[in-house]
Amino acid sequence: KAGVTQTPRYLIKTRGQQVTLSCSPISGHRSVSWYQQTPGQGLQFLFEYFSETQRNKGNFPGRFSGRQFSNSRSEMNVSTLELGDSALYLCASSPSPGQGANEKLFFGSGTQLSVL
């Protein structure tokens, strides 16, 4: 079974541009969540999708948006990029937003975004 696939692996953008990141979950997984990871800080929750619906959203500005398609693939978009958006963006999937250990997340390798 293929793991969670994120593309691209690396991305360099300049301030003011926008970027779209892609995530393909493990086959059969319908829940996808996105996180931002920066050195010295914990993973910051961005949003979670299940069956094409956003179930939960973290405390990020409206420049950060996402969506999920009928095949469970998800995209994340950041508009008007700022230097502070430079980070590793991780996508994680799970079979469903269930209870207990069934919630364990399977992470992709991430997209390393650098904003210059």
Partner 1 sequence: GQNIDQPTEMTATEGAIVQINCTYQTSGFNGLFWYQQHAGEAPTFLSYNVLDGLEEKGRFSSFLSRSKGYSYLLLKELQMKDSASYLCAVRDSSNYQLIWGAGTKLIIKP
Interacting residue ranges for partner 1, rule: CB under 8 A: 4, 33, 35, 40-45, 55-56, 58, 90, 97, 99-101, 103-110
Rounded least distance, CB 72 to partner 1, Å: 18
Distance of CA 61 to the CA centre of its chain: 15
Task: Rank residues 40 and 62 by Cβ distance to partner 1 and give the closer one.
Answer: 40
What is residue 102's three-state secondary structure? helix
* Cβ atoms of 104 and 93 closer than 8 Å: no
Rounded least distance, CB 43 to partner 1, Å: 4
Integer angstrom CA distances of residue 68 from 42, 45, 46: 24, 16, 14
Rounded least distance, CB 112 to partner 1, Å: 9
Rounded least distance, CB 80 to partner 1, Å: 25
Task: Rank residues 45 and 65 by Cβ distance to partner 1 and give the closer one.
Answer: 45
* Cβ atoms of 78 and 18 closer than 8 Å: yes
Task: Rank residues 63 and 104 by Cβ distance to partner 1 and give the closer one.
Answer: 104
* Cβ atoms of 32 and 25 closer than 8 Å: yes
